[in-house]
Structure 1
């Protein structure tokens, strides 16, 4: 096996592992052939920018490099997945307050049970991801990862558990901040229903409460939609920042 062929294989493996994990490039309904074709296209485009291996690797060392490339690609893709998950978690928090969490159904495109606002938030984030050309920046950072972590290197670095726990804390903080306006509306609706039940005991609050919260959340959602899109537009670019920080720590 020549040096050039080994280089192409290692580049292809890292990019494929990234695409399989990252939600922005891989939807469960997308055929595997399309994923492989996308990976190969990015590989051929990135080949000229990737340093070629100095010498041909032995079989055992090449197998070790393959495992390393899979792990690096999955790690980078997982970081991008976390930020889409932050937006989805925000939607799930809203669903829990409004009462839609009871109507969660299985979504084959995401492979999990999602409720209504969770799905709306997720697909809004996907639209923002492509409309702002953020996918181009992510692909550029993926290609730059070969500069930070050469394909011939086996040093994984020291990002460690501490870095992942810090990143997970940031994800939950972003999710709560994104869901806060709708959660406040739902809580205010609960307070209003409590006042109504005290003022007019004859009204059945249990029957009135559910449709009232749904209508209120829907109206506020439409009013706050531009602000929501703007907030998502500020959150998603952070994935590139943390991708680069992770790669520089390797």
Structure 2
């Protein structure tokens, strides 16, 4: 009897750990490569302990085959939730990449070991600014609470995740792209006006080499305006980041509960 109860508790805890660990693997802010693995394991175990009291235990001790199926389901679900948070951060980084392309920094993109991808200058600025706002505004606690609540909406014993349609993902990608454009629009307009001014100068004073003058002028102008617009950019990022909680909840509500 005692062995059966212990087995139920162990299997329940392991399934909870699988969903949370998969979320931590892909979610920005929790999956940074500079963060030691011991810290990541500690966070996963700590959140598992917090989620255990609100999670319905397995009714009976299940076989190894069924347990492996449930493990795969929990991993996929955790990755899906983490992917939604990653998309929101990608929208902000994408805005910086748009600015880099307009200013001319895109050809100077270098490999960022912290992100694991080629990242340009404004892309990294926007990304790390979003990470700072994510933790300063205590949004990471709200995200973790949302992840814990998913165990009440989608029990660990459930094996039915329904049919994953493309309509929701296409809609989310469109919203991500729109958010990136809106966030990058001010500095892209500044870079565009700078090019227009350079074109007028080349027409008015043909002796000036616009090709040599254009690059440093756009860099200096974009740098000045990003400092002037930093409060507005931070406010816009602060409005975009909570979207991850909204779409995690919508994703969970779209799944069957049994």
Q: TM-score, normalised by structure 2?
A: 0.95
Alignment correspondent of 1:19: 24
Tell me how far apart the structure 2 counterparts of residues 228 and 154 of structure 1 sit (CA, whole Å). 43
Q: 2:201 aligns with which of 196, 199, 202?
A: 196
Map 1:127-142; keep pairs closer than 5 Å. Answer: 127-142=132-147
1:178·1:228 contact (CA, 8 Å) conserved in 2? yes
Q: Please say if 1:52 is aligned against 2:63.
A: no
Tell me how far apart the structure 1 counterparts of residues 210 and 153 of structure 2 sit (CA, whole Å). 60
Q: Please state how far the C-alpha of 1:158 moved relative to its aligned partner.
A: 3.2
Q: 1:104 aligns with which of 92, 109, 113?
A: 109
Tell me how far apart the structure 2 counterparts of residues 163 and 56 of structure 1 sit (CA, whole Å). 36
Alignment correspondent of 1:166: 171
Tell me how far apart the structure 1 counterparts of residues 241 and 122 of structure 2 sit (CA, whole Å). 18
What is the Cα-based RMSD across aligned positions, in Å?
0.9
Deviates more, 1:105-114 or 1:26-35: 26-35
Alignment correspondent of 2:95: 90
Deviates more, 1:153-162 or 1:114-123: 153-162
Q: Please state how far the C-alpha of 1:53 moved relative to its aligned partner.
A: 1.2
Q: Please say if 1:4 is aligned against 2:15.
A: no
Alignment correspondent of 2:251: 246
Tell me how far apart the structure 1 counterparts of residues 226 and 237 of structure 2 sit (CA, whole Å). 14
1:197·1:203 contact (CA, 8 Å) conserved in 2? yes
Alignment correspondent of 1:120: 125
Runs of 4+ in 1 over 4 A off after TM superposition: none
Q: 1:184 aligns with which of 184, 189, 192?
A: 189
**What does the per-residue CA deviation read over 1:144-199, in whole Å, with 9 as the maximum and x for residues that have no partner?**
01111100000112342211111111111100110000000000000000000000
Local SS of the residue matching 1:113: strand
Structure 1 unmatched runs, 5+: none
Q: Please state how far the C-alpha of 1:92 moved relative to its aligned partner.
A: 0.3
Tell me how far apart the structure 1 counterparts of residues 21 and 99 of structure 2 sit (CA, whole Å). 34
Alignment correspondent of 1:61: 66
Q: Please say if 1:227 is aligned against 2:249.
A: no
Local SS of the residue matching 2:118: strand
Q: TM-score, normalised by structure 1?
A: 0.98
Local SS of the residue matching 2:253: helix
Deviates more, 1:81-90 or 1:31-40: 31-40
Local SS of the residue matching 1:180: helix
